[in-house]
């Protein structure tokens, strides 16, 4: 090397955010304390293929009746293989990679984000209650209000989680709090990007014998690690950032709790809402570039948010990276980055907002939040419309 180039790269490594090394985790799919030596790799992948193969088999041959095949394969989690709904090598490989990405011990994959949410609710019993953040994804809110409450006898109460002290006083200040079994949190929320203190809410939940579930879809594992902050369950719609190519519908639940994991695995098998092996392969492929896509998307989103905030045709911009965001300081402390979600309010009514939308270049108008590579999501409240810009 010439001159001080050796010093330059060493200094760059020393100055870098240590969280940026997560890219290695996404590529290799192992947490530091997880087994992943050469011997284990040869058991789960004896061919040495650098891309884990897709196993499309529905059933697996047994040496003896009732004895599952390959119980020593790490991707079978000690259970071996007998029927693909119960366990599949390609799904197991993806689940292990996602557990590492969320810095959790366990992950259970489902056929959609909604199926993952449903699996978490199945951890509850009749007459128990859910305390849910008031600004929550419409599909979650609809499921809670229209299905869980009337058919499962589980009451769902919606509250503003940004005020933790207020939540404690109002909902845990009397004997009724004993029935709360689950606190459901999104942070940032969909679509107004409210941010709540995960660590404080985890403390409150555990103090009252409650589970804290965090939907981490909007941040992705790259920009936020709820397990590290005390969350019991972390939920993702893999369809969005993790897969990242608009060609897979899937959901996951991650946890550090062995008992919850066993229950979720039983629910996964019993309900049967499992993703296909091919979808698991695609999602795993997408995970390997998550760190690159999130960095680019967040960088561009921040620039757009600053532009919108200074524009005379915009009355308000909600983006955690802006100093004007009500929970900006919390976002800086809790997240590893500000993400790529933007909500802004146009001057005028629906007609004016529609004109703005039609003038946006490189946009796709969508009903769902479907993330492509380096994508930014913008929500316009007056239109209840998403803009998805894959070239941003």
The residues carrying an active-site annotation are 85, 137, 215, 240
Tell me which residue of 94, 97, 189 sits closest to 140, measured CA to CA: 189
52 contacts 284 by C-beta, under 8 angstroms: yes
Peptide bond into 207 cis (omega under 30): no
Look at the block and give the residue holding tokens 């007609």: 351
Residues near 36 by Cβ (< 8 Å), separated by ≥ 6? 28, 29, 30
| Closest C-alpha to 274, from 384, 153, 116 | 116
As a whole number of angstroms, the distance between CA 23 and CA 27 comes to 6
Characterise 360 by phi-psi region: left (phi > 0), alpha (psi -120 to 50), beta (else): beta
Instruction: Report the candidate in 226, 163, 215, 220 with the shortest Cα–Cα distance to residue 189.
Output: 215
């Amino acid at each position: 090397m010439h001159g001080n180039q050796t010093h330059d790269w060493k200094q760059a490594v020393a100055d870098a955010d240590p969280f940026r090394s997560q890219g290695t985790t996404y590529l290799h799919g192992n947490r530091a304390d997880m087994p992943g030596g050469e011997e284990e790799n040869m058991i789960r992948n004896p061919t040495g293929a650098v891309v884990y193969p897709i196993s499309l088999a529905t059933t697996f041959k047994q040496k003896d009746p009732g004895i599952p095949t390959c119980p020593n394969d790490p991707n079978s989690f000690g259970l071996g293989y007998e029927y693909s709904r119960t366990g599949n090598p390609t799904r197991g490989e993806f689940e292990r990679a996602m557990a590492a990405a969320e810095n959790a011990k366990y992950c259970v994959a489902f056929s959609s984000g909604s199926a993952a949410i449903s699996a978490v609710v199945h951890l509850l019993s009749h007459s128990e209650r859910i305390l849910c953040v008031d600004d929550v994804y419409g599909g979650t809110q609809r499921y809670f209000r229209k299905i869980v409450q009337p058919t499962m006898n589980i009451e769902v109460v919606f509250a503003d989680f940004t005020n933790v002290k207020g939540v404690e006083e109002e909902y845990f200040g009397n004997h009724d709090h004993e029935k709360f079994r689950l606190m459901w949190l999104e942070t940032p929320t969909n679509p107004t990007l409210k941010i709540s203190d995960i660590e404080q809410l985890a403390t409150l939940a555990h103090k009252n014998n409650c589970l804290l579930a965090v939907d981490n879809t909007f941040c992705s594992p790259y920009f936020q690690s709820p397990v590290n902050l005390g969350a019991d369950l972390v939920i993702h719609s893999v369809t969005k950032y993790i897969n990242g190519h608009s060609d897979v519908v899937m959901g996951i639940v991650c946890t550090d709790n062995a008992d919850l994991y066993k229950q979720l695995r039983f629910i996964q098998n019993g309900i049967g809402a499992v993703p296909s092996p091919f979808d698991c392969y695609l999602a795993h492929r997408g995970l390997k570039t998550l760190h690159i896509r999130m960095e680019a998307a967040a960088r561009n989103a921040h620039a757009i948010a600053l532009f919108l905030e200074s524009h005379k045709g915009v009355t308000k911009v909600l983006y955690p990276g802006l100093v004007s965001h009500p929970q900006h300081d919390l976002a800086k402390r809790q997240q590893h980055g500000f993400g790529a979600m933007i909500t802004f309010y146009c001057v005028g009514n629906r007609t004016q907002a529609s004109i703005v939308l039609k003038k946006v270049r490189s946009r796709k108008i969508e009903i769902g939040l479907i993330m492509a590579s380096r994508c930014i999501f913008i929500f316009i409240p007056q239109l209840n419309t998403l803009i998805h810009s894959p070239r941003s």
